[in-house]
Chains A and B, each alone.
Chain A
Amino acid sequence: MERGLFVGLDIGASMTKAIVIDRERNTLGQGVVFSGADFQAAIRKALKKAQALAGLKNIEGSLIVATGYGRRSVPFAHSTRTEISCHARGSYHFFPRAHSLVDIGGQDSKVIKMDDRGNRIAFKMNRKCAAGTGAFLEEIANRLKVKVGRLNELAEKATKDVSIGSYCTVFTATEILTKIREKVDLKDIVRGVFQSVIQRIMEMDTLEGEVVMTGGVAAHNPFLVRMFEEKIGRKIFVPPLPQFTGAYGAALYALEAKGG
């Protein structure tokens, strides 16, 4: 029985993330797997990975908070919070000051604004559209027949600015076909796609003060973060394990519920 541990589970539309922390808020282990069609299996696998990394036999006795779209699919969770609250909580832990948080997840993007005490002032999520999300990048990678994990290195090697202006994923794919016909270099197209994601985020809300980025897209595409910095003309802060910020926030809620 492992007591005094706190688990955050973030069951996202694309990926399921689990994180285990101790009373001192240290991350002991984390795991991420595809959410797929079987949330229960994904939760088990993510937890197993986190446990293994933490060197734990089990997590029985730990306090668990679930978040993400699948938060209600965790029968053994002690409570649930939305991913908006959890991302904000996780982000504020690493950057305890007023800031704007940009989280780009698999199926949604969020802009969350916090005051200097960590209170959420406002938040906005993307409209019912994949533009500006990880799903958009996955779809475009699929169309370009490149692995989504290679997008970052391709964009980094681009030499020209290519404008991808369409608002919707399907139209963007068509626009890319035109670029391919025009013999535009693949690397430049990918950079244009990154630019398009940034543009969609900037249309969601104004980004005031310090900006923090979290989520799988920031975790796997550091060049996109650099491009974003260039676009807004200031540094963007990224927490450790940015893909786990929501899960970490959930674990913090678990700890705080215990009076930690």
Chain B
Amino acid sequence: MGEEKTVAIKKIQASGQMRKIMSDYFYALNRASEEGHPKVAWCTSVGPAELLLSLGFVVYYPENHGAMLGSTRTANTYIPAASAIGYSPDICSYLTSDIGAYIKKETPLSRAYEGVCSVPKPDVLVFNTNQCRDVQDWFNWYSRELKVPVLGLSTCRGIGKIRADHLRSIVDQIEDMIPPLEKISGQAFDIDRLRSVVALSKECTELWKRVLETNMSSPAPMSFFDAIIQMGPAVVLRGSQAAVDYYKVLLKELEDRAVQKDGAVEGERFRLYWDGMPIWGKLRDLAEFFISLRTAVVVSTYCNSWIFDGFDPADPLMSMARAYTEIFIVRDENTKERSIEQMADKYEVDGILFHDAKTCPNNSNNRYGMPERLTQRLGIPTLVINGDLNDLRCYSEEQAKTNIEAFIEQLEA
């Protein structure tokens, strides 16, 4: 029966080290912002960060800030401010909460890091539309507001097989960015420096992949709710030695736990796939809820989206184009479906949970019949829960939990 048991989220020991490198990162950004050197670039999560790092920028990721606004449950304080200036509550709630927080001159960084009063002031804004079109509108708003140049990559979306012209287009666009970025950073482009950064990004992504793959063990040593916190360095510190060093430590801990059968969920009975965005404001709550149901969410589209197999220091620009284009969200429905199918098989899941995020259609893969098709093909049940990444007005606690609990009861039968 779907009884709630005593719950305790197991600690990941490496997390202390993660907090330290994240803290160092945010203080470095703050210093650069205050001192005007090195230059600060804002970049979308799978934008050309490697190029920016090679040109000496410190790189800040507004999407990461959006996730912080969600996880601190402050997003709903700020979304109305963005709505009031014309940004619909139906569009990306990272965008609306981030712009709203800017309007109100507040940031969770101030509470997390003493002495940090605001998000770092950008010298340039660089986006890639591979995630969605919203990032372009988001960065353009800041460009107008802060009178800072904005540069962007336009990625073809809905791609099945990646063709040479798709990649050539991205390489051309990256090359076009180099002269204006050199001017802003004051540093000349150096292909060897780029190779070094790409090599570090590659190492980081390979380690992150191995971290996630420890969950192929049963019981899984890490839940999805741990993983989305642990991916912080892969998001904001890729291309750095700090991230590489961190994931070596984390990997060792998780491999040891896998060997010792020390699962994230005590008495793991069921294993699930989570598709779609996290519900940032409900991470702990949902983590505890799944533990109480002795169910481990072992694999997700979201965490796997930070695996970039394409990086190759021997051919940095082309490989960056490949890495940025190969990601799940850029691909067509068939490729996405195959990817979930393979993951479900690889991680031996009992069911797939789709989070239909109201303000993030690009990350909600349930809307074109995929759950039904996967149920038919894989012979495992699927569940759709309604919610949102940041806007908790779109999330009904009781309804979501009843659905999840009923889903587990279905697996029990």
Contacts and interface: CB of A to CB of B under 8 A. Distances in A.
Contact of A84 (B3, B396, B402): B402
B386 A82 contact: no
Interface residues of B, number: 20
B413 A79 contact: no
Contacts of B394: 128
B1 A80 contact: yes
B398 interface: yes
A51 B264 CA distance: 45
A240 to B, nearest CB: 24
Interface stretch (B237-245, B318-326, B404-412): B404-412
A119 interface: yes
A83 B386 CA distance: 18
A145 interface: no
Given A85-B410, A128-B386, 5 more contacts: A81-B409, A84-B406, A85-B2, A125-B399, A127-B386
B381 interface: yes
B402 A83 contact: yes
Nearest to B403: A125
Contacts of B399: 108, 125, 128
Contact of B402 (A69, A122, A253): A69
Contact of B381 (A85, A122, A125): A122
A123 interface: yes
Given A108-B399, A127-B386, A80 B409 contact: no
A120 interface: yes
Nearest to A128: B396
Contacts of A72: 4
12 contacts: A81-B1, A81-B2, A82-B406, A83-B406, A85-B406, A85-B409, A119-B413, A120-B410, A122-B375, A123-B410, A125-B403, A128-B394
Interface string B377-406: 000010010100000001110110011011
Contact of B405 (A79, A82, A108, A119): A82
Contacts of B386: 127-128
A108 B403 CA distance: 12
A67 to B, nearest CB: 10
A82 B412 CA distance: 13
B379 to A, nearest CB: 11
A14 B412 CA distance: 29
A119 to B, nearest CB: 5
A80 B402 contact: no
A108 B400 CA distance: 12
A16 to B, nearest CB: 15
A100 B304 CA distance: 36
B406 A80 contact: no
B35 to A, nearest CB: 48
Nearest to B372: A122
Most chain B Cβ neighbours within 10 Å, of A82, A84, A119, A122? A82
Most chain A Cβ neighbours within 10 Å, of B395, B406, B410, B413? B406
B226 to A, nearest CB: 26
B413 A120 contact: yes
Contact of B2 (A82, A121, A127): A82
B401 to A, nearest CB: 9
B1 A79 contact: yes
> Which 8 A-B residue pairs are closest in the complex by CB-CB distance?
A84-B406, A82-B406, A85-B409, A128-B396, A120-B410, A82-B405, A79-B1, A127-B386
A54 to B, nearest CB: 25
A127 B400 CA distance: 10
A207 to B, nearest CB: 14
Nearest to A124: B384
B363 to A, nearest CB: 18
A72 B401 CA distance: 12
A131 B264 CA distance: 39
A72 B384 CA distance: 23
B282 to A, nearest CB: 14
Contacts of B4: 72
Interface in A90-121: 108, 119-121
A124 B385 CA distance: 10
A257 to B, nearest CB: 8
Nearest to B383: A123
A123 B406 contact: yes
Most chain B Cβ neighbours within 10 Å, of A72, A83, A120, A121? A120
A82 B2 CA distance: 8
Contacts of A120: 409-410, 413
Given A120-B410, A122-B381, A128-B396, A82 B402 contact: yes
Nearest to A257: B1
Given A69-B402, A122-B375, A128-B396, A80 B410 contact: no
A172 B180 CA distance: 54
